[in-house]
Chain A
Amino acid sequence: MGEKKIHNKESFLKNISLQLGRSKPVQVERPVWKHQPQWEVHKGASKQELVEILKKQCMLNHTDFYETDSDHLTELIEDTIGKYEGKSAAVWEDPRFDEYGITEYFNEKCSDGTFSYHRWDPKLGEQNIVLTEKADVGITFSDMTLAESGTVVLMSGNGKGRSISLLPVTYIAIIPKSTIVPRMSQATREIHQKIEKGEKVVSCVNFISGPSNSADIEMNLVVGVHGPIKATYIVVADK
């Protein structure tokens, strides 16, 4: 497409200004909104209360939910992979996998040749997609977690491929307890504030609330459409 990135802007916007009966404003201040109900949701809830809210919502979202401490985390992952009859996994390149001993656990698990795992490697390019698509289980950490809607927020980049939470048939999210906030508002505020400070937002922010689903056939809910068919969220006490 070459050098010019924006096409037809002037005439298009001029027409809008004309219709609105004024010239295009040079600067627009976002108003102080009169109504801001979002901050009332689970206001003042303690961390443990938020965990309970998250747990309840996960059940509504057809997501299996567990809470554990860092000593028992790999056990729980082992059980979940067993439940999913997983023979292979794909994970992010994320230092938290090392910190929580998961990398070590996987290396061991793979040693007898009955299990394989792929760790996202940006240098491999498209090969990552091929390997992830073959994996039975995708595993990521959560960067932020929304109690109200039972949602993990995943920020792409630096080895955190979008495909991991998307292509495998099952998905496990590991949620450090400290990442839990009441609702989406806290996450989007953080993103907004970063942008105001001149920081770049990552190329892909995913808010994921359980396994993919559809009600397109006679309004019957079917869990598992294009994304994972099953999902487990594990809250873990921070290391």
Chain B
Amino acid sequence: MPMKIGTEEFNSRVEKGINDGFMREAVRSAQGRLYERRLNAAEELGNWEEWRNHGEEIRRHTLENLDYYLEQLSDNVAERGGHVFFAETAEEANTYIQNVVKKKNGRKVIKSKSMVTEEISMNQALERIGCEVIESDLGEYILQIDDHDPPSHIVVPALHKNKSQIRDVFREKLGYLNTEKPEELTLFAREKLRKEFLSADIGITGCNFAVAESGSISLVTNEGNARLATTLPKTQITVMGMERIVPTWEDLDVMVSLLSRSAVGQKLTTYVTGLTGTRDDGDGDGPEDFHLVIVDNGRSKILGTEFQEALHCIRCAACINVCPVYRHVGGHGYGSIYPGPIGAVLSPLLGGYENYKELPFASTLCAACTEACPVKIPLHELLNKHRRRIVEEEGMSPAMERMAMKGFQYGAGSPVLYKIGTKLAPLLTTPFVTEGMITNGPGPIRPWTETRNLPEPNKERFRDWFRKREREAKTDG
């Protein structure tokens, strides 16, 4: 049941606590810290470029042979007692998962963080069959408790919330009595969630990388929740985007090293877990039943096109952490669960131009993203390709096109246009905003339009933002 919200509700939401000032400050400081950490982690290696080159060649080879490696993966999963379901659409994936849960009489599902399950609205699908779904990643848990507030960053989902807001949410919804100290909030969540883990019938995880040669999946986390979700419940379901795969364990090493350093500046995250099939005889823990759901949901349409490299993404968020536009608008401004430069590339591909055609223009083409990307995806070039396509497909008049293109150029020399607060010169982008773009889109947008309170505020914020820039441009020029 869609839960659309009008302007009033949006306003009262703003009054209630969403504080843009805080959000911007939070984004700024998070970006700063993550940026530093990544840089240190990269620099201490001394040959970061070599690592990036290696990451790139592995991703390229894997995607070029994706059908081969997926077949190898699925054969090996089956060999180790697991089930594999290839889902072309979100609906197919959800139906299969619902059926597994029904067959197991599952009442309670505990989840570790997974972008692809967000993308396909799996939680809602499970709730529809009367199953309780509990997010266990601390950030995701906070958002879920707060009436499904959407994530604003792919690695730090509750980045836009401050600790007193979190305390208030815990107080209001869970009867929390302690202070806003992160330690106390975290301990409280740990105790609450431990009980859920011990009583859940089914654990659902995402997958950072599957390993074709052995039918394994890997999970890269700091909190340990993905380990709990794959150790305690009797049934494990893992959902992966079809491109999240490497040929061998040797390649897994390289990708996990790149991911850890780029995402959080660690040499390795606290837990890297490689799981293969069901529990072995004599294990005593781990799942008795394992299902791997491999999701296409629009990805195959990207293969063989000039955007194929977008599928090389390992979801580290390094590009997001350096992006001046993200810094200004925050994650929610993108109207997609995939924000930042990679979101601006991927969301139109998965969700269509009709929903996301303004995103490729929400970029300064400063190339900081491309430089940060551990697998060398030419993000700013892909954004530019989108722009050209949109201009062509939208049938814009040559005059408008010129204006748009000129806009990008003259913006570069006009810092007054838009004070992003970095040394990177912003470029003017032309607004392509249409009415109601977010109300019922396919792809990444669907989760929020189905049950969550996001779309309108997003649209407002983005539009205001564009308009303001437009006005400034006019008064300036």
Contacts and interface: CB of A to CB of B under 8 A. Distances in A.
B253 A5 contact: no
B249 A8 contact: no
Interface stretch (A72-80, A108-116, A221-229): A221-229
A61 to B, nearest CB: 7
A216 B250 contact: no
Interface string A198-227: 001111111111111111111110101111
B233 to A, nearest CB: 11
Given A226-B136, A227-B223, A146 B268 contact: yes
Nearest to B143: A216
Given A20-B64, A28-B69, A37-B50, A203 B224 contact: no
A192 B248 contact: yes
B68 interface: yes
Interface residues of A, number: 88
A170 interface: no
Nearest to A228: B224
A231 B269 CA distance: 15
A21 interface: yes
Contacts of B88: 8, 11-12, 15
Interface in B260-275: 264, 266-275
Contacts of A19: 300-301, 303-304
Nearest to A192: B249
B279 interface: yes
B134 interface: no
B409 interface: no
B82 interface: yes
27 contacts: A1-B100, A5-B77, A5-B83, A8-B88, A9-B74, A12-B87, A13-B67, A19-B304, A28-B69, A35-B51, A37-B45, A37-B54, A126-B284, A146-B268, A161-B285, A185-B253, A188-B249, A200-B276, A205-B274, A206-B271, A207-B271, A214-B138, A220-B163, A225-B225, A226-B223, A226-B224, A228-B224
Interface of B: 26, 29-30, 33-34, 45, 47, 50-51, 53-54, 57-58, 61, 64-71, 74-75, 77-78, 80, 82-88, 92, 96, 100, 103, 136-139, 142, 156-159, 162-163, 166, 182-183, 185-187, 189-190, 193-194, 197-198, 213-214, 216, 222-225, 227-228, 230-232, 242, 247-250, 252-254, 256-257, 264, 266-286, 289, 291, 294, 296, 300-301, 303-304
Interface of A: 1, 5-9, 11-13, 15-17, 19-21, 24-25, 28, 30-31, 33-38, 40-41, 57, 61, 120-122, 124-126, 128-129, 133, 146, 148-151, 156-159, 161-163, 166, 184-185, 187-189, 191-192, 195-196, 200-220, 222, 224-228
